Amino acid sequence: MRDAAENGQLALLLEVTGTPKPGNVDRHRDYEGLRFEHFAAGAVGALSGLRLAAEGAPVGRAFERAVAGMSQQSGGNTQFGALLLLTPLVAAAGTDRLSPEGVTELVEATTVEDACDFYRAFDHVDVAVEAPPDDLDALDVRRGSDATDALEARGTTLYDVMELSADRDGVAAEWTNGLARSFEAAEWLLADEGPVYRRASRVFLRLLADEEDTFVVTRNGPEAAAEATRRARAVLDGEEDAEALAEEFVARDINPGTTADLTAAALFVALQRGLEV
């Protein structure tokens, strides 16, 4: 029987096998410098950090170690956002608190040192993020470990960091909302039928159709994000072909990465609740 850390790793692997996921690396599509194999290697490398989370290590430390392991492949950042969601989920599962309320209790208890470890994780990989408001320049996550003095001076916890970003980052918003979308999407997976890779694809499309992807906003702009959501709805309505849209979005480099992160989190919750593989 798999433990919570192993299910976290499996969720990462199942997410990348989900096909089709328009704009994302999947079992049929790669980007030139970011390929399926990189995601598989990232999932393997992340296990040690996920195991720390399951064993009760501080969330920030477990996340930083997971990212450090994930980064040990040549593709760069494969699963940073997914690990940011999976780490508290795995930690909650390790203490029998896998629910929106349990996760909320856990993340609200994070510390300044957790925040410092979160920033240290940015030293391992390049992550596409928006610049913060001018008054928060000292807390720009792109500073990585160089920002830890500012975090300590301000007494900023990891939960505080997520609150500061929640209005413009979907993963941070999920952190401050008990991972509600992830838990809801897990129920979609469990209620669905067929191979898990197809279920993951349908959940991905449903999540994207429900809400614009903040990673697309950051990399491609708000018009591209609105288009991605509109066209995901069209796929669900039978008006567009998912495979054709996947090919187009990869060609245009429109990558709904936040939606993929949420899909990985949903897969973990579903695995913990009995999803068979």
Task: Give per-residue pLDDT as tens, 3-16.
Answer: 999 999 999 999 99
Instruction: Decide: pTM greater than 0.75.
Output: yes
* Cα(119)–Cα(93) distance, integer angstroms: 24
Q: Specify the CATH class of 4-110+168-272 in words.
A: mainly alpha
| pLDDT at residue number 132 | 79
| pLDDT at residue number 268 | 98
Reading the block at residue 131, the tokens are: 């610049």
Average of per-residue pLDDT across 92-113 = 97
* Cα(28)–Cα(46) distance, integer angstroms: 23
| Structural domain boundaries in the chain | 4-110+168-272
Q: What is the DSSP letter of 263?
A: H
Average of per-residue pLDDT across 227-246 = 98
| Residue tagged 């969720």 (tokens) | 11
Lowest mean pLDDT among 111-115, 133-137, 151-155: 133-137
Per-residue model confidence as pLDDT tens digits over 189-220: 999 999 999 999 999 999 999 999 999 999 99
CB 59 within 8 A of CB 53: yes
Angle between helices 4-17 and 36-54 (to 10 degrees): 160
Per-residue model confidence as pLDDT tens digits over 37-62: 999 999 999 999 999 999 999 999 99
| pLDDT at residue number 138 | 85
